[in-house]
Amino acid sequence: MPIFDSQEIVVDQTTKSLREGLKIPNNYLNILIGPNNSGKSNILEFINQQYKTDGATASDYIPPRRFDVSNNMQSMADTYKELEASLNQRRRVKDSSTSELPNFDPIRELAALDNSARSALLKWHNKYFGHIEIIENPERRYETPKVLIDDRLPAQQGSGSRAILSILVRIFDNRLKVLLIDEPEISLEPKTQKKLMFLFQLASQGKEGLPQKKIFISTHSHLFIDREDFRNNSIVQKKDDQTTIRKVQNEKELQEIVFSLLGSSPEDLFFPSNIIVVEGASDAIFLQKVSNFIGDMNKNIAIHFAEGDSKVPIAAEAIEQMLKTSSYIPVYKDKICVLLDGKRDSSFVNKAKEILKDEGERVIQLSKEAIEYFYPKRILKKITGLDETNIDKEIKSFLCQVNKNKETWAGQLGRFNGTKVNLAKMVTELMEISDLEDVSLEIRKLLSVAINKCF
């Protein structure tokens, strides 16, 4: 017999079997996560071979192919005999010419359940997975009962409905103490997967009238990961033709697993490829334009701003909160970038670096106090009519006016009169790719870092 409640198990890939005396996870709910051909199915089949008690049925392996159903319940004597033969067949070592072990007809199993188990199954199926009923003909006492799911025969149902029924009859079978389910997500839409996982959790705890079972699952779906207790999840890997199982060590590792199961890219979920935090809306408008010029259009960088204009203390609090919140998200914490105005004191800049654990590559402070100093001079000259030699002095005057005018936040810059946001929009509308040469190297460098770290 294998040794249970362990950290590790080894599969002999040469013989495609597991050796005796190995250690395997043995909680009441056990989730196996790993790539294709890593040995997850072999592990489930092997565990199923270990659970047998004096001829009584203790466990069953539910293979991926579980879509073949009949429409009518058959005679009980034949059903019991066939059920026992099918269970024993799934316990035998798989023939090398067989890709999958056979499944049993769930309609026949429904007939083999005792009355209380069958009633419980019908109740749960009706609550979560569609209306199911068993119809007997009162005029013909010995006619085999017919099963309908949402007013259709089981064989007429989609593969998801048939797959669900194959799993439910095992869950409610009181004779089974251990279930080994290979890829329960097959043919199931996400919301149905969630319902089924909820049922697994209840069954593993014996709650809400469900017969308690020890459940083993192999999966490629993040919806069958046990997020309530990371210790119920194990990673299956194959290296040098040997498969190992290792229990998940902590919440952080579990988050990384879920992220990998989602495709390892937040863009697949329409989330941004990366995030840049800046002081105000004008900074965001300008950086977005420059980013579009120098970046990959397929990489969506979100630029968050804190309305920093003249509200320095408030903006500082907002930026700090944004950084803390973003750094809590594991997928972004090592990628997020920050561009701070030159007016920020060094203690705030250092605090931002500390939050993001950055050594100066992703948190950059401008050499001047505002983004307006970094607009292409050709465009500023066209908008304001000012000479380039005096433009920095005029920008400083414009910023002073904006900060004093707390009603409109507007100022005068040559023939331009308006807010910082108005100016940023006009500048970016006139920008061409050739203007990149006039954009500060410090800004371009930060954007390049953000783009290179994109998913």
| DSSP one-letter code for 332 | T
Q: Return the amino acid letter for 240.
A: D
> What mean pLDDT do residues 406-416 have?
91
Q: Give 144-200 pLDDT, tens digit per residue.
A: 788 888 888 888 888 888 889 899 999 999 888 999 999 999 989 999 999 999 999
The tokens for 299 are: 């990489």
CA 363/CA 355 separation, integer angstroms: 10
Quote the pLDDT of residue 205.
94
The tokens for 68 are: 């073949």
In angstroms and rounded to an integer, the radius of gyration of the C-alpha atoms of the chain is: 32
The tokens for 24 are: 């395997």
CA 324/CA 335 separation, integer angstroms: 13
CA 360/CA 365 separation, integer angstroms: 9
Quote the pLDDT of residue 116.
92
Q: Give 387-409 pLDDT, tens digit per residue.
A: 888 899 999 999 999 989 888 88
- Give the residue among 132, 224, 207 at the shortest CA–CA distance from 171: 207
pLDDT, greater one: 137 or 234: 234
CA 374/CA 367 separation, integer angstroms: 10
Q: List CB contacts of 25: < 8 A, sequence separation 6 or more.
A: 4, 5, 6, 9, 234, 245, 247
> What mean pLDDT do residues 31-60 have?
80
CA 20/CA 141 separation, integer angstroms: 52
Q: List CB contacts of 143: < 8 A, sequence separation 6 or more.
A: 136, 137
| DSSP one-letter code for 220 | S
CA 372/CA 391 separation, integer angstroms: 10
Helices (H), 40-135: 40-50, 76-91, 106-112, 115-128
Question: 263-295: buried (b, 16+ CB within 10 Å) or exposed (e) per residue?
Answer: eeebeeeeebbbbbbbbbbbbbbbbbbbbeeeb
Q: Is 295:301 a contact under the CB 8 Å cutoff?
A: yes
Per-chain mean pLDDT for the chain = 82
**Inter-axis angle of helices 40-50 and 76-91, to 10 degrees?**
120
pLDDT confidence band for 14 (50 / 70 / 90): very low
CA 133/CA 146 separation, integer angstroms: 8
The tokens for 45 are: 């089949």
Q: Does residue 424 register a pLDDT over 60?
A: yes
Q: What percent of the chain stands above pLDDT 70?
A: 80
Q: Does residue 270 register a pLDDT over 80?
A: no
Q: Give 307-360 pLDDT, tens digit per residue.
A: 654 444 445 666 767 676 655 566 777 888 889 888 888 888 888 888 888 888
pLDDT, greater one: 101 or 3: 101
Which residue intervals of the chain bear CATH 3.40.50.300? Answer: 3-263
Quote the pLDDT of residue 358.
87
Pairing mode, strands 59-62 and 242-247: unpaired
Q: Does residue 209 register a pLDDT over 90?
A: no
Quote the pLDDT of residue 15.
40
Quote the pLDDT of residue 261.
81
> What mean pLDDT do residues 18-29 have?
69
Q: Return the amino acid letter for 105.
A: D
pLDDT confidence band for 455 (50 / 70 / 90): confident
pTM above the 0.85 mark?
no
Q: Give 67-124 pLDDT, tens digit per residue.
A: 777 766 665 556 666 667 677 767 766 665 566 676 778 888 888 888 999 999 999 9
CATH superfamily of 3-263: P-loop containing nucleotide triphosphate hydrolases (3.40.50.300)
